[in-house]
Structure 1
Amino acid sequence: MSSAVDIASSFIEGAPPGELADVVSDVKTLTSDGDDIIPSLAPAFERYNEKQLSTVKLPGASQEVIVSEFNKLEGNKYYDTESQTLFEVDHIAGEASAAQSYPLESQNADLIKSLLKSVAAHAIEHYPNCSYGVYPIENDSAVAILLVANKYSPNNFWNGRFRSIYQIPVSESTTVTGKIHVDVHYYEDGNVALNTNKPVNISIPSLSAETIVSRIASAEREYQEELNRAFVQMAEGSFKNLRRQLPITRQKVEWEKVGGYRLGQDISGGKGR
């Protein structure tokens, strides 16, 4: 049988975008250990933050930087290439500390800096609340491009996250591979979630930062258009067929008054006996 920590960890790792604090509160309520179980869940928080490309603010700075497996060092230490900063992360609190200088040392430093500039322009143009990162990976033989954009609207009962991860083998500069992830949770009078992803394989004619980011932008735009077409098709087809447009009486039900209806009388317009 799974332990309380295993079960609670699954709740943490499955938290919808922007709702981790709510899930943590639920875990405390549902477990007999309450606050005492939270430190035991540190590995789950770490996995969640790295997978979801969570962001943290560097001490004394307004910018948010990404936490991921691609920019992880030993322990809870991570680094950011744009600000050339090393920092520690408290995964449970979601905070960064102990920031210090960390110069970029890579044989692909020029490419990384050019990509950062192009990705920044792409992010500003297309995404709100967007963070990005470019890191040397695989013993400096490749480069990873990460982008995450969050849109939270709890007052309207929905939250969403867009993530994309791309990898470029520097020695084989003809293909960019990666994956685009979209997570949306809508929970007004119900619980509906969209969790989808699309593998990406992009051919590039040269190892040019502008060309690479331009092709990435095209792939992301095509996927967004594909999702829009799917939503329209579902709204006009599958979802529309799930229920009658009107009840069998051909009259709309005034749901705000449903508590006062007398079955078989008010709904049908008939008279009571």
Structure 2
Amino acid sequence: MAEEETELSEEQRKEIAKWFLLNAPAGEIQYVAKDLKSVLNDDDVYNEAVSEAFPVYNKSHMICLEMPGRFGDVLVTSYGELPSPYIEEYRCALDIEMSKYVGEAYPKGFCSVYCTNGKDVEGPGSDFELVVVISAARLSPQNFCNGSWRSIWNIEFKDDIQILELKGKLQVGAHYFEEGNVQLDARHECKDSTLFQSPDDSAVSIATIIRHHETEYLASLEASYLNLPDTTFKDLRRKLPVTRTLFPWHNTSQFSLTREISKELGIGK
């Protein structure tokens, strides 16, 4: 006598349904879902399976969505996920402060703030990390010059010691090509820290620190440019002889090495 078949639980049926959904070929998950709905004949199990599988499927396939108003397309990936509400408070507050700073400091600058570690932290008691990315460019090929500014700031929120640690990487590039070809590729790294405070207060402190370091670095670059004629470029020039007499390039015939050698060797006599 054949054993009676064991009926699957709702959880088991949901997991099986999810497996079929997650393994659907590209662009066909909606058709698989339609067939599963008729096979399951259970709206509760179906809705749970679909609500859990669709987000995972869309992110794994990195589907592209067209935004309303045709403002461009958006990729659906895990990298663009918003963190928990607790982390989002800090991320959003910092995004607002950094947008103010970049708008003032860079005429054509853009910035974004991402959560790179601790997205699932639901409240105080755990560490997390935010990253600020700043990019600005000034392109003027008609005037023979282009330039860009890029900076990345990693901010570690250390809950146990109530400290925020900042690590910045700054990079400046410039190219001048009018009657020549001069390029600049300057890089700088810096560190700083501040107290772990409320989202708004932390955002203000972080923005102030970033403003200070970037302004200071830009000032140091400008100072270096001003000193170039008297330092670096001067060292590249030909040194004067001990007599401190300039070489008469306009009348080099009087220093003809060939003539002097010929005279000494008696050639041409």
Identify the TM-score tier after normalising by the shorter chain. Answer: 0.5 to 0.7
Q: Aligned pair in 2 of structure 1 residues 240, 156: CA closer, same or farther (>3 Å)? A: farther
User: SS at 1:124's partner residue?
Assistant: helix
Q: Percent identity, please.
A: 27
Which residue matches 1:144?
Answer: 131
Give me the whole-angstrom Cα distance separating, in 2, the residues matched to 1:157 and 1:200: 32
Which residue matches 1:104?
Answer: 82
**Where does 1:1-273 land on structure 2 (aligned, <5 Å)?**
97-99=72-74, 104-106=82-84, 107-140=86-119, 141-172=128-159, 173-207=163-197, 208-243=202-237, 248=247
Residue 206 of structure 1, CA deviation: 3.1
Letter in structure 2 aligned against 1:237: T
Residue 192 of structure 1, CA deviation: 1.4
User: SS at 2:82's partner residue?
Assistant: coil
- CA-to-aligned-CA distance 1:184-235 (integer Å, 9 cap, x gap): 1111222211111111101212341001100110000110111111112222
Q: Aligned pair in 2 of structure 1 residues 158, 176: CA closer, same or farther (>3 Å)? A: same
TM-score by length of 2: 0.54
Which residue matches 1:91?
Answer: none
Work out whether residues 175 and 181 of structure 2, in 8 Å CA contact, stay in contact via their aligned partners in 1: yes
**Greater C-alpha radius of gyration:** 2
Any stretches of 5+ residues in structure 1 without a counterpart? 1-72, 79-85, 89-95, 252-262, 266-273
Give me the whole-angstrom Cα distance separating, in 2, the residues matched to 1:122 and 1:249: 56
Residue 248 of structure 1, CA deviation: 4.8
Give me the whole-angstrom Cα distance separating, in 1, the residues matched to 2:208 and 2:192: 11
- CA-to-aligned-CA distance 1:2-38 (integer Å, 9 cap, x gap): xxxxxxxxxxxxxxxxxxxxxxxxxxxxxxxxxxxxx
Give me the whole-angstrom Cα distance separating, in 1, the residues matched to 2:192 and 2:210: 8
Letter in structure 1 aligned against 2:82: L
TM-score by length of 1: 0.53
More helix by share: 2
Which residue matches 2:35?
Answer: none
Q: Aligned pair in 2 of structure 1 residues 74, 234: CA closer, same or farther (>3 Å)? A: farther
CA RMSD of aligned residues (A): 3.3
